[in-house]
Every structure is written in structure tokens, then in C-alpha cells.
């Protein structure tokens, strides 16, 4: 079972080229687990903007099965990095869902694993822009 409270973590992209575009080695975040019911949980997530995070407070919903933790992260806005000059553009629409899975440490105070975006489209008016699947790694630990 995951504990209610604040979890401090970081994520990064698997592809070095994607990670370089952010301008940081990794992006920090804070997850506040606010409700645990049996093996399901929900909470809020806040990416650190000073390490390349997405704006706003997002939500998470997940479940724990044994030592395996899975959750979906949904941020309120989408940030794109455009062109060769790496211009950031924030769109007033929800970010694509991000799927996290990981495993508890033996003491249940930290979790490490992988995250991914599924293949999808971003619509600019009537024009669909395909977005390739993307993945990376993450870790977080309970703030005590």
C-alpha cells in the first residue's frame, strides 16, 4: 500500500536528444497522495518549472498490486518544444496522459520505474500532428 503524504521525485527521458531539449538532466516533481482506498490511490502532482516541468497542478490516479505501483498523470496544460530554436509553447488544453509504472523499494519508502506517452495526435485546428510514443525513467521517495 502506498502512504498518504508528500512524495518527492524526478523523471527523465530515455532518449538523450529529448532530455537535452528540456535543458536539464532531469525534472523534479512533488506528488501529494491525498486518498488511499484499498489498493487504489489518487493525488495531485506539481512539476518543478525551474527544472523543465509542465505548468499547473495535475492529477494522478493509480493502484498498487503487491510491490508494483501504476498511475496515470494528467497535467492541465500542454507544453510543446517547437523547432530548432527549442521555443516552448504552452497550449490551453490538457496534456496527453502519462502512464507510470514502478516498483517499491524493500522499505516501501521509494519507488522507481518507467513512464510513457502512447502514440497520439495533437490537433491544431483541423490539422492532426502525429506524436510518437515517448518514454523515460522516474523515481520518488516519501518525504518524512
Q: pLDDT digit string (tens) for 11-22? A: 999 988 778 877
pLDDT in tens, 64-89: 999 999 999 999 987 766 656 655 66
C-beta of residue 73 within 8 angstroms of C-beta of residue 65 = no
Domains of the chain listed by start with CATH number = 5-142 (2.40.128.120)
Count of residues making up the chain: 144
Per-residue pLDDT 10s for the chain (144 aa) are: 899 999 999 999 998 877 887 788 999 999 999 999 999 999 999 999 999 888 899 999 999 999 999 999 999 987 766 656 655 667 677 888 999 999 999 999 999 999 998 887 777 778 887 777 789 999 999 998
Amino acid at each position: 500500500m502506498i502512504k498518504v503524504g508528500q512524495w518527492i521525485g524526478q523523471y527523465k527521458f530515455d532518449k538523450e536528444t529529448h532530455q537535452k531539449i528540456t535543458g536539464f538532466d532531469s525534472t523534479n516533481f512533488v506528488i501529494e497522495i491525498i486518498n488511499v482506498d484499498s489498493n487504489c490511490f489518487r493525488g495531485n502532482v506539481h512539476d518543478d518549472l525551474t527544472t523543465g516541468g509542465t505548468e499547473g497542478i495535475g492529477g494522478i490516479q493509480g493502484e498498487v498490486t503487491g510491490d508494483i505501483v501504476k498511475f496515470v498523470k494528467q497535467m492541465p496544460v500542454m507544453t510543446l518544444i517547437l523547432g530548432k530554436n527549442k521555443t516552448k509553447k504552452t497550449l490551453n488544453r490538457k496534456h496527453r496522459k502519462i502512464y507510470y509504472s514502478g516498483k517499491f523499494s524493500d522499505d516501501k519508502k521509494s519507488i522507481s520505474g518507467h513512464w510513457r506517452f502512447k502514440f497520439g495526435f495533437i490537433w491544431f485546428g483541423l490539422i492532426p500532428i502525429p506524436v510518437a510514443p515517448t518514454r523515460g525513467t522516474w523515481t520518488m521517495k516519501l518525504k518524512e
